[in-house]
Structure 1
């Protein structure tokens, strides 16, 4: 905050300390599919950035796959995959296939393993029709499928998803949901999902964590979450009630 004196000749700056997250503690076990919810500004993105090693916490400890993300970021990158729905990790002017080839080199994936994995992802995510298309020419649904494939080419143990279905049509969204569910149930990949689309949570997550003002407001099963509201409330009603107080709709 900046203050002027009455004559408007001088000023001083007051610094306000804002804790993006505070006293936040949770553990996600191998093979879980966890939804991480919160209103804008609640601390979700800060949490994700700490888990990925982009930000370093001012206190406390973070461990992902047994590693300190801020100290072992390069090593951790080979153990996790990250998808940001509003930002792509693909090269904008290159064909999708060329982006995948560059990612192979970045992660030092052996050619045979890469070819097998890409073939499987191409079939599962239906990428074949646009592998040679520049990323900038892809539809949003096609790009999201490409980003998912890119995050999985090095076979990560953990997948962190930030709004992976944002802006997608119903068909594209259903396809990605089905893919993620099979990835978790059949391959045992641990998934942490942040989203404002509560349909994603209902269809994918067995456990839900809610963060509000940097603190964990709820951690439990989806059934336990729904039980916090009486009657036949929708998940939107339940989440809104938790954030705005009992009796508010």
Structure 2
């Protein structure tokens, strides 16, 4: 199956002026994206994350034809984004958390109607897609409200609908849940999960909210200093960077000194009264539970999966400084 997105050695450099004395400035080339290789198959749900300034948004802008790459090759839906930007726009949808494609003073319904003409969507197709979005995103209560009067959560649901009405093959999402309350985030995530499960649209999601990634994306690409530092599953990320599950046990009595589990590694034992937390390395949870049960004081226990925020923070912290910086 042909890839819907393919990038080889994708690079974007910006020229900035920096102070080089009291009265003189000199030009300096700053790499924002420094040679990204990326291949995305149709129907994938891809999380593309990194710290501020890592190159996430710059990559998306090159993939959507907003920015011209400084070097490398890129293809989206079989098209080269910048020279074929008009044709590409008909085949992709874009939602930027801080940008709007809706008409500010028009009711939401009329914005959708105008977009049908912009993209030349057949009436029946437009109506079917709008009907689906109305049902899944609960749009009916504010369809006749001017966009400027919508809450942030309502507007984001409108933006998602607007991006999908022309039936795109790829949907690019840049911080789609930024600033949303818990209820609105849940609605957006549920909608995107159902959209991705159907497999009709390829989703590329950049976000700082890692809960979005955990709930929606099967594949995670981590970028730092403009370079890809991880491309794989979230489980593979945990394995690669040493994430460990924790076993939390409530005991009737404090843990005796020198407690150990034979033949298994258990580290970072933390005790808070009768509650004890074990970081599991090579030990199985069953082996630790058996050892605790032998003490005769086990009251309750729970297994806590590793937090993706912790492992990503560790990844960024352990990365060497960018040799191109400074």
TM-score, structure 1 length as denominator? 0.94
Q: Which position in structure 2 is the counterpart of 1:108?
A: 120
Equivalent residue, structure 2, for 1:230: 243
What is the rounded CA distance, in whole Å, between the counterparts of 2:184 and 2:101 in structure 1?
19
Residue by residue over 1:22-65, the C-alpha shift from the partner in whole angstroms, topping out at 9 and shown as x without a partner, is 11111011110010000010000100000010001011111001
Distance of 2:243 and 2:202 partners within structure 1: 32
Q: Which position in structure 1 is the counterpart of 2:131?
A: 119
Residue 241 (structure 1) aligns with: 314
Task: Name the SS for the 2:220 alignment partner.
Answer: strand
2:44 counterpart (13, 17, 32): 32
Aligned counterparts of 1:149 and 1:101: Cα–Cα separation in 2 = 12
Structure 1 or 2: more helix by fraction? 1
Equivalent of residue 189 in structure 1, options 201, 206, 213: 201
Shift in Å, 1:215: 0.5
Equivalent-residue separation in structure 2 for 1:192 and 1:213 (angstroms): 20
Q: How large is the Cα RMSD of the aligned pairs?
A: 1.2
Residue 113 of structure 1 deviates from its aligned partner by 1.5
Cα displacement (A) at 1:119 = 1.5
2:10 equivalent in structure 1: none
1:195-234 aligned at under 5 Å gives the runs 195-227=207-239, 228-232=241-245, 233-234=306-307
Contact 2:243 2:311 in 1 (8 A): no
Q: Is 1:93 matched with 2:105? A: yes
Deviation string, structure 1 residues 152-203 (Cα, Å, up to 9, x no partner): 0001110000011111111111111111111111143100000000000111
Determine helix, strand or coil for the equivalent of 2:312.
helix
Q: 1:149 aligns with which of 161, 178, 186?
A: 161
Q: Gaps (5+ residues) in structure 1? A: 6-10
Name which of structure 1's ranges 157-166 and 221-230 shifts more when overlaid on structure 2: 221-230
The DSSP-based 3-state class of the residue aligned with 1:240 is helix
Q: Which one has more relative contact order, counting CA pairs under 8 Å at least 6 apart?
A: 1
Listed as ranges, the gaps of 5+ residues in structure 2 are 1-17, 246-305, 320-326
User: 1:214: how far off?
Assistant: 0.4
1:83 paired with 2:95, answer yes
Partner Cα distance (2:218, 2:98) in 1? 25
1:2 counterpart residue number: 19
Matched with 2:72 is 60
For the residues of structure 2 that align with 1:21 and 1:124, how far apart are their CA atoms?
Answer: 36
Mark the structure with the bigger radius of gyration.
Answer: 2
- How much has 1:4 moved relative to structure 2? 4.6
Q: Following the alignment from structure 1 to structure 2, what is the Cα–Cα distance between the partners of residues 32 and 76?
A: 19
Say which structure is richer in strand: 2
Q: Tell me how far apart the structure 2 counterparts of residues 149 and 21 of structure 1 sit (CA, whole Å).
A: 30
| Cα shift readout 1:125-161 (whole Å, capped 9, x = no counterpart) | 1100111100010011100000000000001110000
C-alpha displacement of 1:84: 0.5
